[in-house]
């Protein structure tokens, strides 16, 4: 199937390509590609295009908020699957080659995200093993198919669900283009299939330079783990076998950052929640995907922001519970929480 790329006032139309063991995955020849303007060899995307606002799971099994974790970086986003025999490995090899042509400073401001279109087979370890063959900095993402489908729709990329009750080796349909976003999350460029490492690197350098130019929206500087301090971390003795709450105080002495998730080996998962008004019914608890951490202090406390440890694992009074906080800028911050009484 020929991948179709066309730009117009209505937006970008992306065709789906079925990976196969043959050379039948066609892409437009160089002469057929839409003409680009400005310093780029590829097709510029409208600024109205935004990086998908979904939360998936990365190759280490941790929550990953696409929008929050992409702030301040040029992001290459591709939908594929690890059993793909042609389009996916070719594209990842081109992306790895492009990254190798960037300076260390440019590479630090660029990331590659690979979202699987085949979550049934592409568990986190499979993604990590596959992407590690190209560049260990690449981030593999999986999750419920409904969330992946939403992400693809937001990215104007076509994917089709894997065959129902399929076993063994089967092909999955997915778009063959790489969507590139600016550091503010808006549309940047579209790299067609077999665009090549050299041309990718050329356009990434130009996009990074334009994002740093006077008059452009400055990319937020990344925070550091040294600027984040967490105190008073506590976890309550579970009041039920299914869930218990956690509290802490986060102090940020550096640039604004975003808390994108928390996890712990002491629970099946850790969610972030807040209390909100529920009309005449009073307050209700609402899950949130990220928490802005400006310069200053953010409290996770009873009746406001708090953590919910889902299916905690045998917590006992006085026990130390390890938590890992994931920040968009500062990265991972390890915290030890003390188990306290329910009414403590």
**Is residue 321 within 8 Å of 307, Cβ to Cβ?**
no
84 is in an annotated binding site: yes
Whose CA is closest to 306, among 278, 260, 270? 270
CA angle 225, 230, 233 (to 5 degrees): 145
Sign of the C-alpha dihedral, residues 296, 299, 304, 309? Answer: positive
Tell me the H-state helices in the chain.
66-69, 87-100, 104-108, 124-132, 145-154, 197-212
Whose CA is closest to 61, among 240, 263, 234? 263
Residue 291 DSSP symbol: E
Other Cβ atoms within 10 Å of 160 Cβ, number: 14
19 is in an annotated binding site: no
**Is residue 118 within 8 Å of 144, Cβ to Cβ?**
no
Binding site for Cu cation: what residues are annotated?
A: 84, 88, 174
Annotated binding-site residues read: 84, 88, 174
């Amino acid at each position: 199937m020929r991948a179709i790329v066309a730009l117009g006032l209505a937006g970008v139309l992306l065709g789906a390509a079925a990976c196969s063991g043959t050379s039948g995955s066609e892409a437009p020849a160089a002469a057929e590609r839409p003409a680009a303007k400005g310093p780029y060899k590829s097709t510029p995307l409208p600024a109205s295009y935004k990086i998908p606002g979904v939360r998936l799971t990365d190759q280490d099994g941790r929550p990953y908020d696409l929008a929050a974790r992409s702030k301040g970086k040029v992001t290459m986003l591709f939908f594929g699957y690890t059993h793909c025999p042609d389009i996916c490995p070719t594209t990842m090899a081109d992306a790895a080659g492009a990254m190798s042509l960037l300076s260390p400073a440019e590479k630090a401001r660029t990331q590659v995200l690979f979202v699987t279109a085949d979550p049934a087979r592409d568990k986190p370890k499979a993604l990590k093993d596959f992407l590690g063959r190209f560049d260990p900095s690449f981030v593999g993402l999986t999750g419920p198919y409904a969330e992946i489908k939403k992400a693809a729709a937001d990215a104007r990329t076509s994917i089709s669900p894997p065959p129902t009750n399929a076993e063994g080796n089967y092909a999955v349909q997915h778009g063959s283009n790489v969507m590139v976003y600016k550091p503010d999350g808006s549309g940047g460029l579209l790299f067609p299939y077999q665009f090549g490492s050299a041309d990718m690197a050329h356009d990434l350098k130009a996009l990074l330079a334009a994002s740093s130019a006077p008059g452009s929206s400055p990319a937020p500087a990344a925070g550091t783990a040294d600027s984040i301090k967490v105190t008073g971390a506590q976890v309550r003795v579970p009041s039920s076998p299914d869930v218990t709450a956690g509290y802490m105080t986060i102090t940020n002495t550096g640039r604004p950052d975003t808390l994108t998730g928390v996890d712990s080996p002491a629970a099946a998962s850790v969610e972030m929640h807040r209390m909100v008004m529920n009309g005449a019914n009073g307050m209700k608890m609402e899950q949130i995907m990220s928490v802005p951490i400006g310069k200053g202090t953010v409290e996770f406390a009873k009746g406001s922001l708090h953590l919910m440890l889902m299916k905690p694992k045998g917590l006992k009074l006085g026990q130390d519970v390890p938590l890992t906080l994931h920040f968009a800028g500062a990265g991972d911050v390890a915290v030890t929480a003390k188990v306290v009484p329910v009414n403590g």
